[in-house]
Amino acid sequence: MNYEMPTALKQRAIDPTLFDWPDKSPALKASRCRQCGAAAFPVNASCMACGGDDVSIERLPERGTLWTWTIQRFMPKSPFSSSETAETFKPFGIGYVEFPGAMRIEARLTQNDPAKLAIGAQVALTFYAHRVDPDGTEVINYAFAPV
């Protein structure tokens, strides 16, 4: 007998401050200082530019351009936490995505083939199951995919 729920029914965001999950149209959240206008991702209670403590939360665009990238080819030590082992680890792409207005954010990339990654390429927000916790909950992280 196995009474476990299907894993897809048990999901959570890797961190609830990054994006809402589940959500009809999930988007990344950033904070913007009401005093000086500086933006930060992820949401920060204070402004990292001027130190003000009055920030608003806004949604980041779904599309941006790849500003730079690399491939993480060795499995990082802890605190990296996926469901992979040294045997099953798959190299992953990582980069900075630039949005109109000059803000760049660090992100996992769905593509890990260097031949398919190029600075300036259009990329779009997506989500993936980063790991499965011992209780069966899928931990969802954000990523960007070439479009």
Partner 1 sequence: MKVAIVGIGIHPFGRTPELSGMQQGAYAARLALQDAGVRWQDMQFGYGGSYEGGNADAIGNELGLTGLPFTNILNACATGGSSLLAACKEIKSGEAEIGLVVGFDKHARGAFNADPSEYGLDAWYGEAGFMLTTQFFAMKLQRYMHDHGISSDSLARVAEKAYQNGVLNPNAWRRSPIDIETIKNSTMVNDPLTKYMFCAPSEGGVALVVCREDIAHRYTSHPVIVSAAAMRTRKFGAFEVYGPSVAGQNIPNASQLASRAAFEAAGLGPGDIDFAQLQDTEAGAEVMHMAENGFCEDGEQEHMLLRGETRLSGRLPINTDGGCLANGEPIGASGLRQIYESVLQLRGAAGSRQVAGDPSVAYTHVYGAPGISAVTILQN
Task: List residues binding partner 1 (CB under 8 A).
Answer: 14-15, 17-18, 30, 38-42, 48-49, 67-74, 76-82, 92, 94-96, 102-106, 108, 114, 119, 130-131, 139, 141
Q: How far is the CB of 22 from partner 1 (least distance, A)?
A: 17
Q: How far is the CB of 71 from partner 1 (least distance, A)?
A: 5
> Both tokens of residue 94?
């990582």
Q: How far is the CB of 2 from partner 1 (least distance, A)?
A: 28
Vertex 99, ends 127 and 56: CA angle to 5°? 85
SS3 sequence of 78-103? CCCCCCCCCCCCCCEEEEEEECCCCC
Nearer to partner 1, 5 or 36 (CB): 36
Nearer to partner 1, 5 or 90 (CB): 90
Rounded to whole angstroms, the Cα distance separating 147 from 145 reads: 6
Nearer to partner 1, 5 or 59 (CB): 59
For residues 19 and 57, is the Cβ–Cβ distance under 8 A? no
Nearer to partner 1, 71 or 124 (CB): 71
Q: How far is the CB of 90 from partner 1 (least distance, A)?
A: 11
Please report, for the chain, how many H helices and E strands are present, in that order: 0, 9
